[in-house]
Amino acid sequence: MLKKVENFIEKQEMLMPFDAIVVGVSGGADSVCLLTCLHRLREQYQLKLYAVHVNHMLRGMEADEDEAFVGDLCKSLSIPLHCVHEDVKRLAEISGTTIEEAGRNLRYLSFEQECERVKAHKIAVAHNRNDNAETVLFHLFRGTGLTGMTGIPKKRGQIIRPLLCVTREEIENFLLKENISYRTDSTNLSNDYTRNKIRLSILPIVTKEINERAIEHITSLSDQLTEVANYLDQVTEREFRKIATLSKGKVTLELKEFSSYEDLIKREILRKAIKSISGLKDIEMIHLTDGAHLSKCQVGKEIHLPNHIILKRGYNTLIVYDSQLYSERKDGDRNIQPVEIPLTLDHEDSMKKGTVQRVDFLGKGFEIRLFPYEKSLAIPKNSYTKWYDYDKIRDAVVLRTRREGDFLMIHPQGKTKSLKSLLVDQKIPREERDKIPLVVCDSHVLWAVGVRSSEAYRIDQNTNWVLSVTADS
């Protein structure tokens, strides 16, 4: 078995000469086997080994005995040992997670902290082929995508898993042959934990009554799917970069391009978008399938997913956002922007001093002038300067953002339309509507900048004073 592990390590390029390795050691058969294998490869690779044992404080004296056993083992191998004591049950209650998840998080955090402390290069953990098969089945039963079916990765960042090439049976036979003792965690024999049910009930039936090589076949399939997943990830990354715009708590996808993809690519792009915002905890295939279908739904349709994630169909976009992060950011933007700026100038100042008012609003610069009208003057035809008959305006003119009840005159005969309806007709996304500067008299919008100008207050032969508003082009 040792040769099999050595060949696997070499093929996967898990070790380099003079590596410093932190090894997670619980005292069970798998971790004792891992520590033994790495110790026997120590001279070949000139390794520095450091062991970490985590006491979860769940099993009283039994846990203390495990710790003492690991201490004796590491002492016999001249390997430094760092022990961590933490009440995992309390951690689970505080974090709102299961004891299984809290324990796993604690272990990896402890390994990473020790790795940083001793300046190690790698973290070695003792997952084997049975663990991989159990993980594949666990993901399958819960509902997963292709990535979930790839099982446990052989390498991930600093983490290496040298025993993924051998079964639990091979490990126990190796330890028996070498006369190496190990501890048995009593919780591993209980059906209280989900994975234990797969380990103790499902896999034994499958290997005994269906195919004795079932674990090997599951592992082989997960390896093949890993290759497929890696290729799919490359394609997804390429297309994601083409159509995605990222900001804090939000990903905006270009709808036209998104709609052109096969459903498989749509789902993977959504998976990537969600992962970039909050991770994939509790995200299942049905969520991604519904999200891919959203591109065919009406504007404004929303799908609410776990962890505050919302998928929303815009006019030309598909928006993926964290409703807590995004709403807080949006409200923050409103607080730092001016609500209203008066634009009215005085006739006398304009005649005598030629005053011009210049203001900044919503990231745009505005120039406001008031001057006597002469019929020889040509009314500007460009889209960034608007003239209005100032003498017809009875209320103060201000720059502001939209409010309920805003409207425009859309016909010289007096026909009006609500600003909301106009923006909907123009297919301006809802999240962009509060960013449009408005030149307004009470609730009458003279100019929705970049959208449309009102037909009211037009210059005619009776005009005496012109209010000119120019926005940065």
Could you tell me the pLDDT band of residue 340, with boundaries at 50, 70 and 90? Answer: confident
Residue 189 is predicted with a pLDDT of 57
Quick check: 340 and 435 in contact, CB under 8 A? no
pLDDT at 336 over 60: no
CA distance linking residue 174 with residue 35, whole number of Å: 13
Could you tell me the pLDDT band of residue 354, with boundaries at 50, 70 and 90? Answer: low
Q: How far is CA 273 from CA 75, 194, 319, in A?
A: 48, 29, 9
CA distance linking residue 319 with residue 270, whole number of Å: 10
Residue 355 is predicted with a pLDDT of 67
Would you list the DSSP string of 375-406?
A: TTSPPP-STTEEEEEGGG--S-EEEE---TT-
For residue 387 the two structure tokens come to 């003239």
| Percent of the chain whose pLDDT exceeds 90 | 47
Kindly state the average pLDDT of the residues 414-437. Answer: 85
Alpha carbon 275 to chain centroid, angstroms: 3
Would you list the DSSP string of 54-113?
A: EE-SSSTHHHHHHHHHHHHHHHHTT--EEEEE--HHHHHHHHT--HHHHHHHHHHHHHHH
Tell me the pLDDT tens digit for each residue of 207-266: 888 998 899 899 899 999 999 989 999 999 999 999 999 888 899 999 999 999 999 999
Quick check: 175 and 167 in contact, CB under 8 A? no
CA distance linking residue 194 with residue 142, whole number of Å: 11
Output helix, strand, coil percentages for the chain, rounded to the nearest 5.
45, 20, 35
Half-sphere exposure of 2 (CA within 13 A, CB side): 13
**Angle subtended at Cα 40 by Cα 38 and Cα 43, rounded to the nearest 5 degrees:** 95
Termini Cα distance of the chain:
73
Instruction: Say which range, 131-135, 218-222, 344-348, 379-383, has the weakest mean pLDDT.
Output: 344-348
Q: How far is CA 91 from CA 56, 60, 104, 146, 382, in A?
A: 10, 17, 11, 31, 64
Pairing state of beta strands 20-24 and 48-55? parallel
Alpha helices in 210-282 (DSSP H): 214-243, 255-260, 263-278
* Contacts of 293 by beta carbon, 8 Å cutoff, 6+ apart: none
For residue 200 the two structure tokens come to 């103790």
CA distance linking residue 30 with residue 28, whole number of Å: 6
Q: Which of the pair, 382 or 66, is modelled with greater confidence?
A: 66
Average pLDDT value over all residues in the chain: 87
CA distance linking residue 86 with residue 68, whole number of Å: 16
CATH placement of domain 251-333: 3.30.465.60
Could you tell me the pLDDT band of residue 334, with boundaries at 50, 70 and 90? Answer: very low
* Contacts of 325 by beta carbon, 8 Å cutoff, 6+ apart: 248, 249, 250, 277, 308
CATH 3.40.50.620 domain range(s) in the chain: 2-223
CB atoms within 10 A of CB 385: 15
CA distance linking residue 407 with residue 446, whole number of Å: 9
Tell me the pLDDT tens digit for each residue of 31-84: 999 999 999 999 999 999 999 999 998 888 988 999 999 999 999 999 999 999
Tell me the pLDDT tens digit for each residue of 295-324: 888 877 889 988 889 999 887 889 999 887
Tell me the pLDDT tens digit for each residue of 161-199: 999 999 999 999 999 999 999 998 766 655 556 677 888
Whether CATH 1.20.1260.10 fits 2-223: no
Kindly state the average pLDDT of the residues 199-206. Answer: 87
Neighbouring-strand partners of residue 247: 250
CATH 3.30.465.60 domain range(s) in the chain: 251-333
Residue 331 is predicted with a pLDDT of 40
Kindly state the average pLDDT of the residues 320-331. Answer: 66
Could you tell me the pLDDT band of residue 339, with boundaries at 50, 70 and 90? Answer: low
Tell me the pLDDT tens digit for each residue of 254-302: 999 999 999 999 999 999 999 998 888 788 888 999 999 988 888 778 8
Phi/psi for 54 (5° steps) reads -110, 120
